[in-house]
Amino acid sequence: MSNPEINEQIEQVQEVLDKLRPFLLRDGGDCELVDVEDGIVKLRLLGACGSCPSSTITLKAGIERALLEEVPGIVEVEQVF
């Protein structure tokens, strides 16, 4: 992917995360976009989300599903610490 395409993808990922953020904040958590590389979104879960036992479910069933549906080229979401 060329640089403009990568920048567009990062912007699209950020837009989706911004839509999901109120739900995370409501539960005392948040997420930070670390990187997008070869269709893999790298996220850091913050606050209550970082230590929540359900964070993997939030990441995979919630955030990843939304990103796969809304951002072309995304294949996976990975949690980084």
- How far apart CA 32 and CA 17 sit, in angstroms, is 9
Other CB atoms within a 10 A radius of the CB of residue 65 amount to: 12
In CATH, which of 2.60.40.1930, 3.30.300.130, 3.40.50.460, 3.30.420.480 is domain 3-79? 3.30.300.130
Domain boundaries, given as residue ranges, for the chain? 3-79
Model's pTM, two decimal places? 0.89
The first and second tokens of residue 37, run together, are 């590389």
pLDDT tens-digit readout, 2-61: 688 888 999 999 999 999 999 999 989 999 999 999 999 999 999 988 888 888 888 888
Q: List Cβ neighbours of 63 (8 Å cut-off, separation of 6 or more).
A: 17, 20, 31, 43, 77
What pLDDT is attached to residue 53?
Answer: 84
As given in the structure block, the two tokens for residue 15 are: 């837009």
Residue 66 has pLDDT above 90, yes or no: yes
